[in-house]
Structure 1
Amino acid sequence: MTFAPTGGGVLLAAQVQGIAPGAHGMHIHTNGACANGPDAATGQIVAFGAAGGHFDPGNSRKHGHPGDPMAVSHAGELPALQAGADGRASLSYVNAHITLDRSATSVLGRTVIVHAHPDDYATDPAGNSGARLLCGVIEDSRPTIVRSRTTLEGTHVFPEGIAVDPRTGDAYVGSTSNGDLFRLRPGAPQAELLQIGGAVGRQGAFGMKVDGQGRLWVAGGPNGTLSVVDTTTGNTLGLLKAPQDPPGFLNDLVILSDGTAYVTDSFRPVLYRVRTTASAPAALEPWLDLTQTPIRYQPNQINLNGIVASGDGRYLLAIQLVTGQLWRIDTRTKAVAQVRMEGDDLKDGDGLVLAGPTDLYVLRNAPNELARVRLASDWSSGRVEHRLTDARFKYPTTAAIGKSGLMVVNAQLDRQKHPPALLPFDVVTVQLPP
């Protein structure tokens, strides 16, 4: 089955075999998974139920005929497949309501389902078309830098941060919407739940890092908390709180080789510090008042966000998302200087990843871009060497280096007030250029 853009929309060409003679309903479904899952009408677990309901970007919530306006019908409605006595069927159809881009009407990453019975184009929600016989994920055939994908169960996860434990290769991802924490084991296609959020004083999970003892440190965003979690048991070992007058937003952190951690606050102009080597971590220390530096916080905006450190711990590097400025912070003198970027735009820069002493990757969320920056040896300046993008990027926020490449979190935070552009949520592993 192929999908191709055409003047009137998207041309779908299908060749199916091995089905019973007669008519079979066929639809585009919302989610990008063909696993078993709950049926939209009955709630019972059925084959390919994880594909969800019919693709309905117009939010019509009505079952109609193929080609009907999106206000009164699902955009995913397709004509029936007519199978002959040999069990073969073919179909060529132009759907004017779908696209192959990054918009809300895109079908990339969604699924096509063939049903056992014909669709009556009237009965909600599925046209009384019976069991799901065949399922396939609509993949982009264009060249991609994505090598693998790990999915996260849940329709409202909106993941943001990621950390990798170098000892085991396990990665950890958190939900911004409720603070759930997930473990991603190397090679596993789906993440497993490590800890449920909320009950441990953390309603959201943002930046995170694993310390030398294998503990997971999680920034709580608007909760103003920093959690310490045992990755073996999933238990919370400690909860540190930053002052919330005025309210802050603990966004990301970096842990130096000596165990010192620095934490960014995107709302309050302060950089925090904490010693992760202590058996019972003390309160967060307001280490640097940023109002006394060249950094100018903009109210009601995301300011300092992603942060990394040099191998010797001498310098920190943080990005100010709203302006795109990179800032170098000297941990010895507390001196702050802007990194000269020769006019290169890094606005909407979110997470930072160091792939070498002077090799920096900047995750730009709204542009769906991974910018590779070559830094000067003293981090005083830099230039963008590559701008990598991919159709599988969905508002990427952060990344971490895993055993198979760079693990990029598709947060979809731009869809928090709307249905996600793609389900399940995922983390994609990217092969980086040499």
Structure 2
Amino acid sequence: MPRNRNHVRTACLAAAAVFTTVCAAPGPAAARDLPDTYVVSRQPGVLPEGITIAPGGTMYVSSDGTGALYRGHIGDPALTTFPARGLEDRPSSLGVHTDRAGRVLSVGGATLTVHDGHGRLLATRTARSGPLGAPHLNDLVVTKDAVYVTDWANPVIHRAQLKGGIVGPLEPWLDIRSALPQFPAQYWLLNGIVANEDGTALLVASNGTEAVWRIGTADKEIDQLSLDEPSFGPDGMVLHGHTLYSVLNYGAPHGVYIAELDDDLRTGKVTHRITGERFDLPTTLARHGCRLYVVNSQLDQPPGRPPYTVSAIDDPTCDTP
């Protein structure tokens, strides 16, 4: 979920890949009575970035431009400001997720924050500086025993232990450079992160290497996810079973790319590419029911132009919610 995208385009040193646009047919179970577009905000400079949707349909969207969080419901086309306390000193919020207890976890700058459903601040955890300097936390995933966080500014994954519902200190967990020692450290540019259901494997997107990396949480073994694309460096991702939903906005037409992976999440094949004018520099997505909710960030032309929106599309792989 990068911020300075114009810089990234010249700095990543990766060749752009040519993709064929495939407009997928709507999923059979897609809901027809829900909005196609959600307005996050009409205030200038918001620049939405991250998104999550709780099981009950409550939607949270983060703001790269202001650091605020916004809340709505999939049945309502308009979101409002979520009264999250303690974000006054965080100018940017990127990744946002909810856990099984309904808490809202988000990252930005050097901090991971945890709020309850009313916006009360429950915890703030600060990441240490990495090998290249101050952290710039990008995205997070919550497993049954930990929160894992990517760092856009350092080739480092941070981890906070979860024990009895308590979020422990946010500590450096893995320096990913060992997977590709010859690659320049400053260009790893870690983005989205997802985990399988039992939390034994992570998939981490690297904008700089234009690849997705599989990491075992027990042994920290790092392997590149093998796909049928020569270049595949997503921004945000969602993993549902063996289906990986990714947003690409660099090195390929902007849009949603869907891959079916093997049982061990080591290999896969891209089955759908959904691109086109419906998206305005998409950064990430959420899945709920048989629909995908894609954030239109406008980060390529900050501060963008209100209204700032989320686009809803049918999940072409969907058989059951």
Q: TM-score, normalised by structure 2?
A: 0.81
Aligned residue for 2:273? 387
Contact map agreement 2:154 2:186 (CA 8 A) in 1:
no
Distance 1:368 1:319 in 2: 16
User: 1:348-397 deviations in whole A, cap 9, x for unaligned?
Assistant: x1001113x22111101243221111212211112211211131101111
Contact map agreement 2:49 2:283 (CA 8 A) in 1:
yes
Instruction: Quickly say closer, same or farther: Cα 1:262–1:199, change in 2 above 3 A.
Output: closer
Provide the aligned length of Structure 1 versus Structure 2: 283
Aligned residue for 2:316? 433
Higher relative contact order (CA 8 A, sep 6+): 2
Instruction: Quickly say closer, same or farther: Cα 1:259–1:165, change in 2 above 3 A.
Output: farther
Q: Does 1:424 align with 2:310?
A: no
Instruction: Quickly say closer, same or farther: Cα 1:170–1:423, change in 2 above 3 A.
Output: same
Instruction: Quickly say closer, same or farther: Cα 1:143–1:331, change in 2 above 3 A.
Output: closer
Aligned residue for 1:90? none
Q: Residues 58-73 of structure 1 correspond to what in structure 2 (within 5 A)?
A: none
Aligned residue for 2:134? 247
Aligned residue for 2:29? none
Q: Does 1:157 align with 2:42?
A: no
Aligned residue for 1:192? 80
Q: Does 1:354 align with 2:239?
A: yes
Name the SS for the 1:156 alignment partner. coil
Contact map agreement 1:294 1:336 (CA 8 A) in 2:
no
User: 1:221-249 deviations in whole A, cap 9, x for unaligned?
Assistant: xx211111122x21222211111361121
Alignment-mate amino acid for residue 424 of structure 1: P
Instruction: Quickly say closer, same or farther: Cα 1:161–1:282, change in 2 above 3 A.
Output: same
Instruction: Quickly say closer, same or farther: Cα 1:177–1:354, change in 2 above 3 A.
Output: same
Q: Residues 260-299 of structure 1 correspond to what in structure 2 (within 5 A)?
A: 260-278=146-164, 280-294=166-180, 298=184
Q: TM-score, normalised by structure 1?
A: 0.61
Aligned residue for 1:213? 101
Alignment-mate amino acid for residue 392 of structure 1: R
Instruction: Quickly say closer, same or farther: Cα 1:364–1:210, change in 2 above 3 A.
Output: same
Alignment-mate amino acid for residue 272 of structure 1: H
Aligned-pair CA distance for 1:197 = 7.7
Name the SS for the 2:57 alignment partner. coil
- Unpaired segments ≥5 residues, structure 1: 1-141
Instruction: Quickly say closer, same or farther: Cα 1:340–1:279, change in 2 above 3 A.
Output: closer
Instruction: Quickly say closer, same or farther: Cα 1:377–1:190, change in 2 above 3 A.
Output: same
Distance 1:296 1:251 in 2: 23
Aligned-pair CA distance for 1:204 = 1.0
Distance 1:248 1:302 in 2: 13
Contact map agreement 1:161 1:398 (CA 8 A) in 2:
yes
CA RMSD of aligned residues (A): 2.4
Aligned-pair CA distance for 1:320 = 0.5
Alignment-mate amino acid for residue 172 of structure 1: Y
Q: Residues 83-102 of structure 1 correspond to what in structure 2 (within 5 A)?
A: none
| Residue of structure 2 aligned with 1:364, choices 240, 243, 248 | 248
Name the SS for the 1:342 alignment partner. coil
Aligned-pair CA distance for 1:270 = 1.6
Aligned-pair CA distance for 1:286 = 1.3
Aligned residue for 1:303? 189
Instruction: Quickly say closer, same or farther: Cα 1:404–1:358, change in 2 above 3 A.
Output: closer
Q: Residues 164-203 of structure 1 correspond to what in structure 2 (within 5 A)?
A: 164-166=53-55, 168-195=56-83, 199-203=87-91
Aligned-pair CA distance for 1:344 = 3.7
> Which structure has the larger Rg over C-alpha atoms?
1
Name the SS for the 1:212 alignment partner. coil
Q: What percentage of aligned pairs have identical amino acids?
A: 34
